[in-house]
């Protein structure tokens, strides 16, 4: 039985070089972005969500880059097509990154980007949102987890 968690900061990290490469790909005007409805992997996204764009991460083929344009949002929701993901905030960093907010047990929990390179294991069955009311497009990397997460929880 998997113990309940909202999100867990993992001991593994994305290296500085990888973070830089990911940020470059995110900000590259030639990077192509897909709408959620164009994603072919059923397990990946919430299909009702048209406020987020995806791109394949070149240095991490198992991952997708996600883009929330400035002043767009993902209102509070629970993902229907997946339970868990590994989540890495990429750009912008520090206080310019609008956090992913979780609503649980009458409390708010946030994943911010005050520790660039940090990896988080996220429970997408807990209601969550992202309001990118900033002057920047917002990017993160997500790897959907479909199998046993017990090993990840041990990290």
Partner 1 sequence: MMKITDIALSTFAKRNIINREAVEKSKYFADEENIEKEWCRVYQPEVPLYNSNIKQYTSLHWHEDFKFISDLILPESLKEHVLAEYINSTIPNTEIRAHIDIQREAMIYLPIYPTKENYMPMMYYHNNEEICLDNYQPGQVYLCNLKICHRVQNSTDLPRLNYQITFNMPFEEIKCRM
Please report, as ranges, the residues that interact with partner 1 according to CB under 8 A.
71, 76-78, 95-99, 101, 103-104, 106-108, 110, 112, 125-127, 131, 133-135
- Between 25 and 113, whose beta carbon lies closer to partner 1? 113
- Between 9 and 95, whose beta carbon lies closer to partner 1? 95
Report, in Å, the least distance between residue 70 CB and partner 1: 8
Report, in Å, the least distance between residue 115 CB and partner 1: 14
Report, in Å, the least distance between residue 92 CB and partner 1: 9
Report, in Å, the least distance between residue 71 CB and partner 1: 8
Six token digits for residue 148: 């046993």
- Between 135 and 148, whose beta carbon lies closer to partner 1? 135
Six token digits for residue 150: 């017990």
- Between 31 and 134, whose beta carbon lies closer to partner 1? 134
């Amino acid at each position: 039985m998997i113990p309940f968690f909202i999100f867990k900061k993992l001991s593994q990290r994305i290296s500085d070089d990888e973070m830089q490469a990911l940020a470059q790909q995110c900000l590259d005007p030639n990077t192509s972005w897909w709408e959620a409805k164009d994603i072919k992997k059923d397990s990946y996204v919430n299909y009702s969500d048209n406020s987020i764009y995806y791109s394949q991460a070149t240095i991490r083929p198992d991952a997708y880059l996600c883009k929330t344009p400035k002043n767009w949002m993902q209102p509070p929701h629970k993902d229907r097509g997946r339970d868990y993901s590994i989540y890495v905030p990429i750009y912008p960093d520090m206080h310019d990154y609008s956090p992913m907010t979780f609503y649980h047990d009458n409390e708010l929990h946030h994943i911010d980007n005050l520790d660039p390179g940090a990896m988080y294991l996220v429970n997408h069955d807990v209601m969550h949102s992202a309001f990118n009311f900033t002057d920047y497009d917002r990017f993160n990397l997500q790897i959907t987890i479909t199998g046993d997460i017990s090993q990840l929880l041990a990290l």
